Chain A
Amino acid sequence: MFEAKLQQGGLLKKILESVKDLVVDGLWDCDGAAITLQGMDSSHVALVEMLLRAEAFEHYRCDRNVTLGMNHNHLSKILKCANNDDIVILKAADQNPDSCSLILESKNGEKTSDFVVSLVRIDTDQLGIPETEYSAHVKMSSGEFQRICRDLSQFGDAVQITCSKQDVKFSSSGETGKANITLTHSATVDKEEESVTVDLKEPVDLTFALRFLNLFTKATPISDTVTLSLSQEAPLVVEYKIGDSGHIRYFLAPKIQEDEENE
């Protein structure tokens, strides 16, 4: 059987909030070491990959690998009933389970809520994401990234990310005008979560749809920092670490510019 007990129920809430708008139905793969979730948006231009290792759980038991097809809208309804400090226990049978139980326990143990969520059959292809070298890594405060995406989406639908030696520039343009935000490499700042590091092998210049980035920033509460990995002609990776025991990675296909006239 599969059983996982998470001390911080709030974490699962945050994870779900950050994936449910992108992926309606997700496959939660549980094996002996971790729970992984991979899913794409309906248009298949963005992908989210979530990994939560067994260490994240107070108690983790998985006798056999099991795949849970979750409807995230249903799951989120259940987790809305949970307080941030509630303990969440996930339970499922070993062989082809058709439902998964969730138990929410209040911290003082006085209240226990018990839910059963029906699993859905999901026929999607899982993509194998190879470990690749990226031309540029930008690490920055997740709040700052969220703010940049939100601010720029007032000006246009797309953001152009340009990385040069020491800085990264986010620009967007629309009918009301043009906006540029430049962040300079500043690893010397005392607080690590506020620093910006640009690790560059080759300069990159890519354009992405802001609506997707704005959606990715829903994972901001999970981590103080975010890492953007970019390569020319390759999907952008936006990674949020879940403590030391996992991550959420978003992949987004770049916009290939054919219509220069819109510039």
Chain B
Amino acid sequence: MAEEEREPDDSPRLSSSSHSKNKEQSRWVMIVPEKIADQQLEDSSPDSQPSIIKLKHPKTESAAQFLICPKDKSIQEILSFQDSKGSWFIDNTVQEDGRLLMATNIDPLFLILPYLQSENNTKKHMFMELDQIVKDSSYPQCNRLVEILDHQTTCQICDSKGNEDFKVYRYSEEKTLAWLKSKVERTADYLSSSDISVSSGQCSSYVRSSKPSEVPREDCLRYAAGLISDYLHPSLSKKMFSNLGIKEETTKGKKVSENGNKTEEETTNGKRRPDENGHKAEEEPPLKKVRKSSSEPDEDYSRSFSMPQVKAVPTSKLTPGQKRLAKADKTGMKSLSSFFKKK
């Protein structure tokens, strides 16, 4: 990526400026879109300042860091790239942590999807207010997502009811799949118009070579869907693949080349990659890592061996009736030993 190479020229300016007001240890080099970096410099009110928050990653469900910008209602995913060795020179100091962080635009809908889906499971199709849906005690900052979502955006994946003042939402799988489909198609369009190689060497070349008649469009779609499934819970991504009529070819997380990374950002909001600019964050560094193209195999040879594990093996020989009983809702029922005494 060209941006990456040019970045060190820019970043020291910002890093050193932050350096003056922050502690030594909390210092990183991060590429952020220019407009966000500008906000950081000019804007003083803390509420509208871009800040780093910890949220549940929609796929892994573990913690990941995001840069939220309330002012332009956007959220950036933070990726980190680390060479095995490396440090930064910033002005006259050496920054030992050689990681390069990148903030790239992500569609906030991906981040609220897990909440919508889980509400959907528990409350059984109830319409709820958005700030009630997006509530998570382990990631309290997730309520900030609600600020940056507007009604129209949310309606892409939800049914909604109510008037201007009071709007309630309900997860709609149909809409979500349609939304994902349009995302995949847009990404695939971009992929086919760009010179990014989506076929051999990057996405299961073995399967591909055995079916030489495949049209490139299908490859683009599959590649695009793979990119997007990186932001989806495995169950949903499975549905997406079947909705698109594509066979999921990689069982593990996708292996991304540098190009892949770039398209990933295209995927999330259809915009161009944010401009590079150095920017320093105030909190702890992100945990996510950018996958490197060179260090990971392009194909997963173990796939064929891991497949049989998917088959469910009945662990006990319960009768169907016993199984049904085990699933019974026993809330509010006391044990019978509280009514009858032991003999």
Chain A residues with a Cβ under 8 A of chain B: 20-22, 24, 40-47, 73, 125-130, 157-158, 175, 207, 209, 211-212, 215, 218, 234-235, 251-258
B341's nearest neighbour on chain A, judged by CB, is: A128
Shortest CB-to-CB span from B116 to chain A, Å, is 18
Segment of B245-253, B290-298, B317-325 engaged in the interface with chain A: B317-325
Report whether over half of chain B's contact residues are helix, strand or loop; otherwise say mixed: loop
Interface contact tally, CB-CB below 8 A: 90
Residues of B within 8 A of A129 (CB): 340
- 10 A-B pairs whose Cβ atoms sit less than 8 Å apart in the complex: A43-B330, A46-B336, A47-B336, A125-B337, A125-B343, A128-B341, A130-B340, A215-B321, A253-B333, A257-B332
For the complex, give the distance between the alpha carbons of A218 and B318 in Å.
17
Are A234 and B328 in contact, CB atoms less than 8 angstroms apart? no
Asked whether, in the complex, the Cβ of A22 is within 8 Å of the Cβ of B325, the reply is yes
B317 and A45: CB pair below 8 A? Answer: no
Task: Give the shortest distance, in Å, between B81 (CB) and chain A (any CB).
Answer: 48
Chain A binding surface SS class: loop
Q: Are A211 and B342 CB-contacts (below 8 A) given A73-B319, A253-B336?
A: no
Q: Is the CB of B333 within 8 A of A45?
A: yes
**In the complex, chain A residues whose CB is within 8 Å of the CB of B239:** none
Beyond A22-B325, A73-B317, A175-B124, whether A127 also contacts B333 by CB under 8 A is: no
Nearest CB of B to A234, in Å: 6
- CB-based nearest A residue for B319: A21
B329 interface hit (Cβ, 8 Å): yes
In Å, the complex CA distance between A43 and B338 comes to 13
Report, as a range, how many residues of chain B touch the other chain: 20 to 34
- Selected from A42, A175, A234, the residue in CB contact (under 8 A) with B339 is A234
Q: Judge whether A251 and B329 touch: CB under 8 Å.
A: no
Complex-state Cα separation, A209 to B331, whole angstroms: 9
- Which 6 A-B residue pairs are closest in the complex by CB-CB distance? A21-B321, A211-B328, A255-B332, A127-B340, A44-B335, A45-B333
Which residues of B lie under 8 Å from residue A258 when comparing CB positions? 332
Interface residue B326 (Cβ < 8 Å from any Cβ of A):
yes
Q: Determine the residue in chain B with the shortest Cβ distance to A126.
A: B343
Residues on B with beta carbons closer than 8 Å to the beta carbon of A22: 325
Q: Are A209 and B329 in contact (CB under 8 A)?
A: yes
Question: Do A128 and B342 contact each other (CB < 8 Å), given the known contacts A21-B321, A211-B324?
Answer: yes
Partner of B343, one of A41, A46, A128, A218: A128
Q: Which residues of A contact B340 (CB under 8 A)?
A: 47, 127-130, 251
